[in-house]
Amino acid sequence: MINRRQFLYLASASAINLLTINGLPLTKHGTASSESKEFNPDLELSLTATPSRVQIFPGEPTTVWTYKGEVTKGEPISLANLDQSYLGPIIRVRKNQKIRIHFKNNLPDRSIIHWHGLHVPAAMDGHPRYVIPTGATYTYEFEVLNRAGTYWYHPHPHGRTGHQVYGGLAGLILVADDEEDTLGLPEGDLDIPLVIQDRLFANNNQLMG
Protein backbone atom coordinates (compact mmCIF):
# COMPACT_ATOMS: atom_id res chain seq x y z
CA MET A 1 0.00 0.00 0.00
CA ILE A 2 1.17 3.55 -0.76
CA ASN A 3 -0.16 6.87 0.49
CA ARG A 4 -1.35 9.79 -1.66
CA ARG A 5 2.02 11.60 -1.59
CA GLN A 6 3.91 8.47 -2.72
CA PHE A 7 1.37 7.90 -5.51
CA LEU A 8 1.78 11.46 -6.82
CA TYR A 9 5.57 11.10 -6.71
CA LEU A 10 5.51 7.85 -8.68
CA ALA A 11 3.03 9.26 -11.20
CA SER A 12 5.24 12.32 -11.77
CA ALA A 13 8.34 10.16 -12.24
CA SER A 14 6.52 8.02 -14.80
CA ALA A 15 5.41 11.11 -16.70
CA ILE A 16 8.99 12.38 -16.87
CA ASN A 17 10.17 9.02 -18.18
CA LEU A 18 7.58 9.22 -20.97
CA LEU A 19 9.07 12.50 -22.14
CA THR A 20 12.13 10.71 -23.42
CA ILE A 21 12.33 7.72 -25.72
CA ASN A 22 15.71 6.16 -26.46
CA GLY A 23 17.36 9.14 -24.81
CA LEU A 24 15.86 11.71 -27.23
CA PRO A 25 14.00 14.71 -25.83
CA LEU A 26 10.42 15.03 -27.04
CA THR A 27 8.51 18.17 -27.92
CA LYS A 28 4.95 18.85 -26.82
CA HIS A 29 3.82 16.99 -29.97
CA GLY A 30 5.79 13.87 -28.95
CA THR A 31 8.48 14.27 -31.60
CA ALA A 32 12.26 14.31 -31.45
CA SER A 33 13.33 16.97 -33.92
CA SER A 34 16.64 18.45 -32.84
CA GLU A 35 19.96 17.85 -34.62
CA SER A 36 22.78 16.05 -32.86
CA LYS A 37 25.95 18.17 -32.64
CA GLU A 38 28.05 14.99 -32.62
CA PHE A 39 26.54 13.72 -35.88
CA ASN A 40 28.39 14.95 -38.98
CA PRO A 41 26.37 13.96 -42.07
CA ASP A 42 27.88 13.23 -45.48
CA LEU A 43 24.50 14.00 -47.03
CA GLU A 44 21.80 16.34 -45.76
CA LEU A 45 18.35 16.60 -47.31
CA SER A 46 15.02 18.28 -46.77
CA LEU A 47 11.79 16.40 -47.53
CA THR A 48 8.42 18.12 -47.37
CA ALA A 49 5.10 16.28 -47.57
CA THR A 50 2.56 18.55 -49.24
CA PRO A 51 -0.70 18.48 -51.21
CA SER A 52 -0.30 19.01 -54.94
CA ARG A 53 -2.16 18.72 -58.24
CA VAL A 54 -0.71 16.80 -61.20
CA GLN A 55 -1.80 16.30 -64.79
CA ILE A 56 -2.28 12.53 -65.14
CA PHE A 57 -5.18 12.52 -67.63
CA PRO A 58 -6.56 15.17 -70.00
CA GLY A 59 -8.89 17.55 -68.23
CA GLU A 60 -8.91 18.35 -64.52
CA PRO A 61 -5.61 17.79 -62.65
CA THR A 62 -5.57 15.07 -59.98
CA THR A 63 -5.15 16.07 -56.33
CA VAL A 64 -2.35 14.07 -54.69
CA TRP A 65 -0.04 14.19 -51.70
CA THR A 66 3.64 14.18 -52.56
CA TYR A 67 7.17 14.62 -51.21
CA LYS A 68 9.33 17.51 -52.41
CA GLY A 69 13.05 17.25 -51.76
CA GLU A 70 16.23 19.31 -51.79
CA VAL A 71 19.91 18.60 -51.11
CA THR A 72 21.33 21.02 -48.54
CA LYS A 73 24.71 19.30 -48.11
CA GLY A 74 26.45 16.75 -50.32
CA GLU A 75 26.24 15.70 -53.95
CA PRO A 76 23.21 17.17 -55.80
CA ILE A 77 22.85 13.91 -57.77
CA SER A 78 21.96 12.17 -54.49
CA LEU A 79 18.37 13.30 -54.95
CA ALA A 80 16.29 13.30 -58.13
CA ASN A 81 12.86 14.96 -58.14
CA LEU A 82 10.57 13.31 -60.70
CA ASP A 83 8.96 16.03 -62.82
CA GLN A 84 6.62 13.65 -64.63
CA SER A 85 5.48 11.72 -61.58
CA TYR A 86 3.76 12.50 -58.28
CA LEU A 87 6.00 10.04 -56.44
CA GLY A 88 8.65 11.37 -54.07
CA PRO A 89 12.22 12.02 -55.20
CA ILE A 90 14.67 9.15 -55.65
CA ILE A 91 17.36 9.21 -52.95
CA ARG A 92 20.72 7.68 -53.90
CA VAL A 93 23.15 6.83 -51.10
CA ARG A 94 26.11 4.58 -50.47
CA LYS A 95 26.70 2.10 -47.66
CA ASN A 96 28.40 3.72 -44.64
CA GLN A 97 27.26 7.22 -45.58
CA LYS A 98 25.85 9.30 -42.74
CA ILE A 99 22.50 10.87 -43.64
CA ARG A 100 20.50 13.69 -42.09
CA ILE A 101 16.97 14.32 -43.37
CA HIS A 102 14.72 17.16 -42.27
CA PHE A 103 11.11 16.11 -42.76
CA LYS A 104 8.42 18.81 -42.74
CA ASN A 105 4.75 17.95 -42.66
CA ASN A 106 2.63 20.38 -44.70
CA LEU A 107 -0.27 17.94 -44.97
CA PRO A 108 -3.67 18.49 -43.36
CA ASP A 109 -3.00 15.29 -41.38
CA ARG A 110 -0.41 13.88 -38.99
CA SER A 111 2.45 12.00 -40.63
CA ILE A 112 5.95 10.55 -40.26
CA ILE A 113 8.40 8.74 -42.60
CA HIS A 114 9.38 5.08 -42.38
CA TRP A 115 12.54 3.99 -44.23
CA HIS A 116 11.34 0.61 -45.45
CA GLY A 117 14.06 -2.04 -45.27
CA LEU A 118 16.81 0.17 -43.85
CA HIS A 119 18.54 -0.75 -40.60
CA VAL A 120 18.16 2.40 -38.51
CA PRO A 121 17.80 3.27 -34.80
CA ALA A 122 14.29 2.88 -33.40
CA ALA A 123 13.74 6.63 -33.04
CA MET A 124 14.64 7.08 -36.72
CA ASP A 125 12.39 4.33 -38.08
CA GLY A 126 9.17 6.34 -38.41
CA HIS A 127 7.18 4.54 -35.73
CA PRO A 128 3.61 5.89 -35.37
CA ARG A 129 4.43 7.17 -31.87
CA TYR A 130 6.67 9.79 -33.52
CA VAL A 131 4.00 11.29 -35.80
CA ILE A 132 4.10 15.05 -36.19
CA PRO A 133 1.19 17.44 -36.81
CA THR A 134 0.72 19.89 -39.65
CA GLY A 135 3.55 22.42 -39.82
CA ALA A 136 5.94 20.45 -37.58
CA THR A 137 9.33 18.94 -38.48
CA TYR A 138 11.24 15.77 -37.59
CA THR A 139 14.98 15.32 -38.11
CA TYR A 140 16.33 11.89 -39.02
CA GLU A 141 19.99 10.99 -38.56
CA PHE A 142 21.40 7.56 -39.38
CA GLU A 143 24.26 5.73 -41.06
CA VAL A 144 23.43 3.60 -44.09
CA LEU A 145 24.20 0.04 -42.96
CA ASN A 146 22.46 -1.89 -45.74
CA ARG A 147 24.17 -3.53 -48.66
CA ALA A 148 23.34 -2.36 -52.19
CA GLY A 149 19.67 -2.67 -53.05
CA THR A 150 16.38 -0.95 -53.85
CA TYR A 151 14.50 0.27 -50.78
CA TRP A 152 11.67 2.74 -50.33
CA TYR A 153 10.22 5.27 -47.92
CA HIS A 154 6.62 6.03 -47.03
CA PRO A 155 4.46 7.52 -44.25
CA HIS A 156 3.60 5.47 -41.19
CA PRO A 157 0.93 7.18 -39.04
CA HIS A 158 -1.31 4.78 -37.16
CA GLY A 159 -4.40 3.90 -39.16
CA ARG A 160 -3.46 6.31 -41.98
CA THR A 161 -0.52 4.63 -43.70
CA GLY A 162 -2.51 3.08 -46.57
CA HIS A 163 -4.51 6.26 -47.16
CA GLN A 164 -1.41 8.45 -47.38
CA VAL A 165 0.55 6.05 -49.58
CA TYR A 166 -2.44 5.70 -51.90
CA GLY A 167 -2.56 9.48 -52.11
CA GLY A 168 0.98 9.53 -53.51
CA LEU A 169 3.40 9.54 -50.58
CA ALA A 170 6.17 7.10 -51.48
CA GLY A 171 9.67 7.21 -52.94
CA LEU A 172 12.69 5.04 -53.67
CA ILE A 173 15.99 4.82 -51.81
CA LEU A 174 18.75 3.27 -53.92
CA VAL A 175 21.75 2.05 -51.94
CA ALA A 176 25.08 1.36 -53.68
CA ASP A 177 28.25 -0.24 -52.29
CA ASP A 178 31.70 -1.46 -53.32
CA GLU A 179 30.42 -4.99 -53.97
CA GLU A 180 27.87 -3.73 -56.49
CA ASP A 181 30.52 -1.60 -58.22
CA THR A 182 32.40 -4.74 -59.25
CA LEU A 183 29.40 -6.36 -61.00
CA GLY A 184 29.35 -4.19 -64.11
CA LEU A 185 25.59 -3.56 -63.89
CA PRO A 186 23.85 -1.13 -66.29
CA GLU A 187 24.16 2.48 -65.19
CA GLY A 188 23.32 5.97 -66.35
CA ASP A 189 20.44 6.02 -68.84
CA LEU A 190 20.31 2.19 -68.70
CA ASP A 191 19.52 2.18 -64.97
CA ILE A 192 15.76 2.76 -64.84
CA PRO A 193 13.99 2.55 -61.44
CA LEU A 194 10.50 1.08 -61.89
CA VAL A 195 7.50 1.41 -59.55
CA ILE A 196 4.24 -0.41 -60.34
CA GLN A 197 1.10 0.89 -58.65
CA ASP A 198 -2.66 0.30 -58.86
CA ARG A 199 -5.07 3.26 -58.70
CA LEU A 200 -8.76 3.91 -59.40
CA PHE A 201 -9.90 7.27 -60.78
CA ALA A 202 -13.32 8.93 -60.83
CA ASN A 203 -14.74 10.66 -63.92
CA ASN A 204 -13.25 13.96 -62.70
CA ASN A 205 -9.75 12.40 -62.62
CA GLN A 206 -9.65 12.26 -58.80
CA LEU A 207 -8.36 9.26 -56.86
CA MET A 208 -10.95 6.79 -55.59
CA GLY A 209 -10.55 4.56 -52.58
DSSP 92-158: EEETT-EEEEEEEE-SSS-B-EEEET----GGGS--GGG-B-TT-EEEEEEE--SPSEEEEEEE--T
Predicted TM-score of the model (pTM): 0.82
Fold that domain 38-208 belongs to in CATH: Immunoglobulin-like (2.60.40)
Q: So what's the pLDDT on residue 209?
A: 77
Q: How far apart are CA 181 and CA 29, in angstroms?
A: 43
What is the distance between the terminal CA atoms of the chain, rounded to a whole angstrom? 54
> For residues 152 and 116, is the Cβ–Cβ distance under 8 A?
yes
CB 21 within 8 A of CB 129: yes
Residue 8's pLDDT is 46
The pLDDT score that the predictor gives to residue 5 is 57
What are the pLDDT digits (tens) for 31-62? 445 688 889 999 999 999 999 999 999 999 99
Residues of the chain with pLDDT under 70: 1-34
Please give the DSSP secondary-structure letter assigned to residue 42.
Answer: S
DSSP 47: E
Q: What pLDDT, on a 0 to 100 scale, did the predictor assign at position 59?
A: 96
Locate the domains of the chain by residue range.
38-208
